[in-house]
């Protein structure tokens, strides 16, 4: 069967084609012509992106086909189904990176509707048009997506499902009750399904798959999971470890026990659903409370904090972390304020890691602008990014009033800009429930 989304020739020129499976009358009746106004996206390897729009409609074998500008690449689902796991991982890294570049811009998630170019660029097809075509092809549209998630969390979950499939050779949710399994976290844990996987990588995949279940905001967010996955997957050769035969035997026993426990839990729950809803609520509540308590304690212990820092020191460290692309510490400084700086640091971090992977080096490709200047370098420089000439002035509030306001003035240097941006930020800080100073508002003026 021909793929419903594929690259073909239109007027002797390559184009991306969408086979609607509709004859001209059905095409008109279902108003599929409206799909010509729907947009997709092409995300380039350098982080820039552009909108993709269909060019027209033609008829082949009495069936209507929508087509548009060519994109040289291979469908992501076909790459994932290939036996070459390295190629699949490389393609998935490009896909995750492109999703982070797009940020909150909505783009299709189904891997069957994404094309990957070997140079790192990615094409995301128009969502509704591609869903129509993939449905005719027999593709399960939401096999990789949880309908309860939004933003970068749904992207992290989708990436987690694909990584699970690459490393284990099977989908984490094979049953028909796929949405219920997603919402309840019913899958074989990563450390049992892929025991040879590096523990940090396994933990991040596990966190991604648990996003529909774990509603606690203190745990890893979608963007933190994606950043961690990119950082680990860029370090080639560190994803697998050797597992002894004794350990494999032990894992097999743990698998059998886990499956037995899981089956027992599912049967018990079905019985409770059909007979005693109150019993189900109590059991689920206890289980969820224990899980949240343990994961919250582990997550908090690993996360950076602003503990021990004065309010002024938090402001200084925030801009220092921005220059160092330390988006995790920046996240620790923020509580309610705009995350535009964090998104910028995360995007540049992804570009840096990609360059290091291509150049096969761990040497930093971007250096903080202040460090560059102190070492005798002249600004601007294509290798320098960050804040210089930072001055911090207290303009209001006090520790006793539990609210302090500062003005921070500085110059921001970027590798792709010849002149710095002169910024003046008004930062408001308040202690959180652990009495750690956090930034609750940033009002920015730029000239």
430 and 438 Cβ atoms separated by less than 8 Å: yes
Q: Which band of pLDDT confidence, cut at 50, 70 and 90, is reported for residue 290?
A: low
Summarised one tens digit per residue, pLDDT across range 317-365 is: 999 999 999 999 999 999 999 999 999 999 888 888 887 777 777 767 7
Predicted confidence (pLDDT) per residue in 176-229, tens digit = 788 888 988 889 999 888 888 888 999 999 999 999 987 766 678 899 999 999
Written as six digits, the tokens of 302 are 């690993």
E strand or H helix that includes residue 431: strand 421-431
Point out the least confidently predicted range of 26-35, 43-52, 67-76, 322-331: 26-35
- For the stretch 416-420, contacts whose Cβ atoms lie closer than 8 Å and that sit 24 or more positions apart, written own/partner, are 416/382, 417/380, 418/380, 419/380, 420/379, 420/380, 420/388
Q: Which of 20, 14, 16 is nearest to 6 (CA)?
A: 16
User: What kind and span of H or E run contains 394?
Assistant: strand 384-398
Q: Which CATH class is domain 143-303?
A: mainly alpha
Q: What angle do CA 299, 109, 133 make, to 5 degrees?
A: 160
CATH no. of 311-446: 3.10.450.50
Tell whether the model's pLDDT for residue 445 goes beyond 90.
Answer: yes
Does residue 270 have a pLDDT over 60? no
**pLDDT value of position 179:** 85
Confidence label for 292 from pLDDT (cuts 50, 70 and 90): low
Residue, of 176 and 431, whose pLDDT is higher: 431
Stretch 406-417: mean pLDDT, rounded? 92
pLDDT at 416 over 80: no
Give how far Cα 180 sits from Cα of 183, 210, 270, 284, Å: 5, 13, 12, 14
- Spatial neighbors of 79 by CB under 8 A, at least 6 apart, are 87, 88, 91, 116
What pLDDT does residue 329 have?
A: 94
Mutual orientation of helices 85-102 and 151-168 as an angle, nearest 10°?
Answer: 180
Residue spans per domain, the chain:
1-141, 143-303, 311-446
**Per-residue model confidence (pLDDT) at position 441:** 96
Say what the pLDDT of residue 241 is.
54
pLDDT of 272: 65
What is residue 365's predicted lDDT score, i.e. its pLDDT? Answer: 76
Phi, psi of 189, deg, nearest 5: -55, 150
Going by C-alpha positions, the residue among 44, 35, 110, 89 that lies closest to residue 65 is: 35
- Look at residue 260 and tell me whether its pLDDT is greater than 70: no
């Amino acid at each position: 069967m021909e793929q419903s989304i594929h690259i073909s020739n239109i007027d002797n020129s390559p184009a991306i084609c969408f086979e609607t499976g509709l004859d001209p009358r059905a095409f008109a009746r279902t108003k599929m012509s409206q799909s010509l106004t729907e947009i997709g996206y092409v995300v380039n390897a350098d982080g820039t992106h552009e909108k993709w729009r269909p060019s027209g409609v033609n008829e082949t074998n009495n069936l209507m086909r929508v087509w548009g500008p060519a994109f040289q690449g291979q469908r992501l689902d076909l790459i994932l189904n290939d036996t070459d796991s390295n190629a699949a991982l490389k393609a998935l890294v490009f896909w995750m990176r492109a999703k982070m570049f797009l940020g909150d811009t909505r783009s299709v998630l189904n891997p069957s509707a994404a094309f990957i170019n070997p140079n790192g660029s990615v094409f995301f097809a128009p969502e509704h048009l591609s869903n129509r075509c993939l449905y005719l092809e027999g593709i399960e549209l939401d096999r990789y997506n949880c309908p309860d998630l939004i933003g970068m969390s749904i992207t992290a979950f989708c990436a987690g499902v694909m990584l699970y499939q690459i490393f284990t050779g099977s989908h984490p949710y094979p049953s028909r009750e796929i949405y219920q399994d997603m919402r309840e976290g019913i899958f074989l844990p990563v450390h049992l399904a892929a025991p040879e996987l590096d523990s940090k990588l396994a933990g991040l995949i596990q966190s991604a798959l648990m996003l529909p279940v774990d509603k606690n905001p203190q745990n890893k967010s979608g963007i933190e999971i994606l950043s961690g996955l990119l950082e680990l997957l860029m370090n080639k050769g560190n994803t697998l470890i050797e597992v002894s035969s004794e350990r494999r035997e032990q894992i097999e026993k743990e698998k059998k026990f886990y499956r037995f426990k899981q089956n027992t839990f599912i049967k018990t729950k079905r019985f409770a659903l059909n007979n005693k809803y109150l019993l189900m609520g109590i059991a689920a509540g206890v289980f969820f409370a224990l899980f949240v308590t343990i994961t919250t304690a582990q997550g908090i212990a690993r996360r950076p904090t602003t503990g021990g820092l004065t309010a002024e020191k938090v402001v200084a460290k925030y801009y220092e972390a921005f220059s160092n692309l330390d988006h995790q510490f920046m996240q620790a400084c923020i509580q309610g304020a705009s995350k535009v700086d964090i998104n910028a640091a995360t995007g540049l971090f992804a570009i840096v890691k990609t360059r290091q992977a291509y150049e096969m080096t761990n040497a930093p490709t971007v250096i903080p602008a202040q460090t560059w200047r102190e070492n005798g370098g002249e600004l601007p420089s294509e290798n320098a990014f960050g804040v210089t000439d930072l001055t911090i002035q207290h303009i209001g509030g006090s520790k006793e009033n539990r609210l302090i306001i500062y003005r921070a003035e500085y110059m921001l240097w970027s590798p792709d800009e010849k002149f710095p941006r002169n910024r003046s930020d008004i930062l408001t800080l308040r202690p959180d429930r652990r009495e750690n100073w956090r930034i609750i508002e940033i009002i920015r003026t730029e000239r």
